[in-house]
Chains A and B, each alone.
Chain A
Amino acid sequence: MRFSHKHLLGIEPLAPHEITMILDLAERYVDLNRGHAKHGDALTGLTQINMFFENSTRTQASFELAGMRLGADVMNMSMQASSIKKGETLIDTALTLNAMHPDLLVVRHPHSGAVDLLAQKVNCAVLNAGDGRHEHPTQALLDALTIRRAKGRLHRLSVAICGDIAHSRVARSNILLLGKMENRVKLIGPPTLMPSGIAEFGVEVYQDMAEGLQDVDVVMMLRLQKERMDGGFIPSEREYYHRYGLDAQKLAHAKPDAIVMHPGPMNRGVEIDGTIADDINRSVIQEQVEMGVAVRMAAMDILARNLRATPQEVMA
């Protein structure tokens, strides 16, 4: 089995066996990360550049650590402060970086499709660390790994994704991934925060938490993306919390062993009750962060293998 992509731009182009391949490799890196000597050599000699055109702490730290643990030379570029402010176009920035011969480029950008555009212009492997409202593939992969470890499988599960679906790239990547792995996906949220055409995605849509959470195995909460909203999607945070915030009462509709997930950063008291987020029997939020490093190590390792292989081998 081969991973037949040069870049990791989204979940959309991946085949189910490719998703499994990344997760299986990530399992091995979980063990490595829990050991004493947290060091591999899969990326030795390679240069990894993290380009974040949008603020990020956790994702950038996760990618940085993943690269360093596999022996890559890692450089962080905060694009907010750099030449982009001086009017340089994305493509010129990409070409400039390309001339420095990086091997792995990790990119986050506020506009959907910007990472695809950049990937067309560079020779190295590009990993999408989130583009606009489009995709955030490594987040979906780390969520999948967390679910698989907690539930023992990644198929025939009932998964609820709750909250601000419209502005969420995490939701898009998760809907695609969970669908490809043959799970039942339920979306719960106010209709103003549902993307258009959502009924054609092969998911069930609910506007009521109690109804939507009925007998689910996994509850995935999303952050209310206040910075992406241009006003007027919900009447107020307190009404939102009342109707869609996850508390013990609403969670009681899910299966007794249902797990609670959140991609972070959390708005406690807006979309999730603090006591649930901290409940070690239900919440796997810390585990998600741990899986994030392992999944990113696996993804970069697999792309690096393809970099070394000839094009014919990659496509075979």
Chain B
Amino acid sequence: MTTLLCNARLIDPEAGTDCLGAVLLDGAKISAVLTDVSEIEGAKARAAQTLDCGGKCLAPGIVDLGVKVCEPGERHKESFGSAGLAAAAGGVTTIITRPDTLPAIDTPETLEFIRRRANEAAPVHVLPMAALTKGRQGREMTEIGFLLDAGAVAFSDCDHVVRDTKVLSRALTYARSLGALVVGHPQEPTLSAGAAVTSGKFASLRGLPAVSPMAERMGMDRDIALLEMTGARYHADQITTARALPALDRARKNGLDITAGASIHHLTLNELDVADYRTFFKLKPPLRSEDDRLAVVEALASGLIDTLSSMHTPQDEESKRLPYEEAASGAVGLETLLPAALRLVHAGHLDLPALFRALSLNPAKRLGLPCGRLSKGAPADLVVFDPDTPFIMDRYTLRSKSRNTPFDGQRMQGRILATYVSGQQVYGRE
């Protein structure tokens, strides 16, 4: 069956264009992208169904690299069902899940379980990452080959940095032989142990244990040295400080196979947002200074940082309603990723095609997925949104089981109107 989505602002991250046109869907694929008026008229006549987007934006669906769904282990915080609904409502058409569950996803059997549960419950694509070391303990590498065969798209110990450099170098060497992508968390783990905020005046005023932003650069430097040694494919999950950027730039120029990501919270909030110990703003790594935030935004705009993701981390009320030091880290972000990212567009830091390069195209490219593009033959994973509608975020409207968003009560601009996965509409705003 063919469906024509017409009268839309087509945001094409590959071509870097933003122009009025139409997209013809045939089954699960995009069969044509049309900008010529006569072609669109012709397509209207032939299409089984025509939907008018009312001049709103149409972009390839978001590929969110690094989402925590709390299955197995903590289904009360988030299940595949609830995460899938949240993703659909947020314009996220592919979730790349993290393995930092209980137990960790470190065997082909648990990975099979994830894939089966995800297919049953979630209306969007779910692709799992697997742990790099068994139990994320940093001692022995996982069965990288079997896990790849079972469908793991990348390997990561998430926020558990592999402390033992020899273990990491072996895992990287082995991963390279299979062409597997390793997702690292650049952080010097002993320097950042126990830290709740970034060091500086704010941390000292609040009397909270703090980590120097330098810990990120040290982690980055070590991982880059290991890449030089092993030649592995590597993606840094989140760069949050200015100091880590020159190292990344040099590594890139030296031809290492390295990419880097940023989290939406570090791009739109800074350390002062923690204010009077607001635990919904407790993240790992912690929120940074405004100078760091701006440097990372600039790096995203210039393309030095490739991907932008939500780092969706559900935490229930009990784990957040504690003294700041004891409270759990992380924030949900699937539904707020696009509205929050539009702040960067409204602030003039980058345009919509550049934003979708970071949200959709680059993560898809890095993982070797065909989605994230607005071109003929690409999967019909799409998001329709109005970048301008203002609203006030109310966390109780979120579809996630956990509602720990730092944007509660904040003014946002930009609404998701519809989400399509494989040509099927999975979300539509009334």
Given contacts A112-B277, A197-B202, contact A90 B322 (CB under 8 A): yes
Closest to B212 in A: A196
The CA of A230 and the CA of B195, in the complex, are separated in Å by: 13
The CA of A275 and the CA of B277, in the complex, are separated in Å by: 42
CB of A198 within 8 A of CB of B204, answer yes
Residue numbers in B under 8 Å from A89 (CB-CB)? 318, 321-322
CB of A117 within 8 A of CB of B202, answer no
Residue numbers in A under 8 Å from B210 (CB-CB)? 196
Closest to A118 in B: B323
Q: Does A135 contact B (CB under 8 A)?
A: yes
Residue numbers in B under 8 Å from A12 (CB-CB)? 205
CB of B323 within 8 A of CB of A134, answer no
CB of A197 within 8 A of CB of B199, answer yes
CB of B203 within 8 A of CB of A113, answer no
The CA of A239 and the CA of B199, in the complex, are separated in Å by: 27
Q: Which of A220-249 contact B (CB under 8 A)?
A: 230
Q: Does B200 contact A (CB under 8 A)?
A: yes
Closest to B325 in A: A111
Residue numbers in B under 8 Å from A201 (CB-CB)? 201, 204
Given contacts A112-B325, A113-B324, A200-B201, contact A134 B207 (CB under 8 A): yes
Given contacts A89-B321, A112-B324, contact A196 B199 (CB under 8 A): yes
Given contacts A111-B325, A135-B207, contact A116 B276 (CB under 8 A): yes
Q: Does B326 contact A (CB under 8 A)?
A: yes
Looking at the assembled complex, report how far the CB atom of B190 sits from the nearest CB atom of chain A, in whole angstroms.
11
Residue numbers in A under 8 Å from B206 (CB-CB)? 112-113, 134
B200 touches which of A111, A114, A132, A196 (Cβ 8 Å) = A196
The CA of A169 and the CA of B202, in the complex, are separated in Å by: 14
Residue numbers in A under 8 Å from B208 (CB-CB)? 112-113, 132-134
Residue numbers in B under 8 Å from A103 (CB-CB)? none
Residue numbers in A under 8 Å from B207 (CB-CB)? 112-113, 131-135, 169, 172
Q: Which of A14-70 contact B (CB under 8 A)?
A: none
Given contacts A89-B318, A196-B199, contact A114 B204 (CB under 8 A): no
Q: Which of B202-231 contact A (CB under 8 A)?
A: 202-208, 210, 212
The CA of A137 and the CA of B277, in the complex, are separated in Å by: 18
Closest to B324 in A: A113
Residue numbers in B under 8 Å from A181 (CB-CB)? none
Q: Which of A97-119 contact B (CB under 8 A)?
A: 109, 111-114, 116-117
Closest to A133 in B: B207
The CA of A230 and the CA of B193, in the complex, are separated in Å by: 11
Residue numbers in B under 8 Å from A256 (CB-CB)? none
Residue numbers in B under 8 Å from A117 (CB-CB)? 277, 321-323
Looking at the assembled complex, report how far the CB atom of A185 sits from the nearest CB atom of chain B, in whole angstroms.
14
Residue numbers in B under 8 Å from A195 (CB-CB)? 203-204
Q: Does A193 contact B (CB under 8 A)?
A: no
Looking at the assembled complex, report how far the CB atom of B409 sits from the nearest CB atom of chain A, in whole angstroms.
16
The CA of A196 and the CA of B203, in the complex, are separated in Å by: 8
The CA of A134 and the CA of B274, in the complex, are separated in Å by: 15
The CA of A100 and the CA of B205, in the complex, are separated in Å by: 33
Q: Which of A183-237 contact B (CB under 8 A)?
A: 195-198, 200-201, 230
The CA of A172 and the CA of B206, in the complex, are separated in Å by: 9
Looking at the assembled complex, report how far the CB atom of B274 sits from the nearest CB atom of chain A, in whole angstroms.
9
Residue numbers in A under 8 Å from B199 (CB-CB)? 196-197
Q: Which of B164-206 contact A (CB under 8 A)?
A: 194, 199-206
Looking at the assembled complex, report how far the CB atom of A86 sits from the nearest CB atom of chain B, in whole angstroms.
15
Interface string of B310-338 (1 = CB under 8 A from A): 00000000100111111000000000000
Looking at the assembled complex, report how far the CB atom of A172 sits from the nearest CB atom of chain B, in whole angstroms.
6
Residue numbers in A under 8 Å from B322 (CB-CB)? 89-91, 117
Closest to B277 in A: A113
Given contacts A131-B207, A134-B207, contact A113 B201 (CB under 8 A): no
CB of A113 within 8 A of CB of B212, answer no
The CA of A243 and the CA of B276, in the complex, are separated in Å by: 37
Residue numbers in A under 8 Å from B325 (CB-CB)? 111-113, 132
Residue numbers in A under 8 Å from B204 (CB-CB)? 172, 195-198, 201
CB of A116 within 8 A of CB of B277, answer yes
Looking at the assembled complex, report how far the CB atom of A222 sits from the nearest CB atom of chain B, in whole angstroms.
14
Looking at the assembled complex, report how far the CB atom of A178 sits from the nearest CB atom of chain B, in whole angstroms.
15
Given contacts A112-B208, A132-B207, contact A90 B201 (CB under 8 A): no
CB of B321 within 8 A of CB of A91, answer yes
The CA of A116 and the CA of B205, in the complex, are separated in Å by: 14
The CA of A197 and the CA of B289, in the complex, are separated in Å by: 12
Residue numbers in B under 8 Å from A111 (CB-CB)? 323-326
Looking at the assembled complex, report how far the CB atom of A309 sits from the nearest CB atom of chain B, in whole angstroms.
24
The 9 closest A-B pairs by CB, nearest first: A197-B201, A133-B207, A113-B277, A134-B207, A195-B204, A196-B199, A111-B323, A112-B207, A114-B323
Q: List 30 A-B contacts (CB under 8 A).
A: A12-B205, A89-B318, A89-B322, A91-B321, A111-B326, A112-B208, A112-B277, A112-B324, A112-B325, A113-B208, A113-B277, A113-B323, A113-B325, A114-B323, A116-B276, A116-B277, A131-B207, A134-B208, A169-B207, A172-B205, A172-B207, A196-B200, A197-B199, A197-B201, A198-B201, A198-B204, A200-B201, A201-B201, A201-B204, A230-B194
Measuring CB to CB, which residues of chain B are less than 8 angstroms from any residue of chain A? 194, 199-208, 210, 212, 276-277, 318, 321-326
* Beyond A195-B204, A196-B204, 20 additional pairs, beta carbon < 8 A: A12-B205, A89-B322, A90-B322, A111-B326, A112-B206, A112-B324, A112-B325, A113-B208, A113-B277, A113-B325, A117-B321, A117-B322, A135-B207, A169-B207, A195-B203, A196-B212, A197-B200, A197-B201, A198-B201, A200-B200
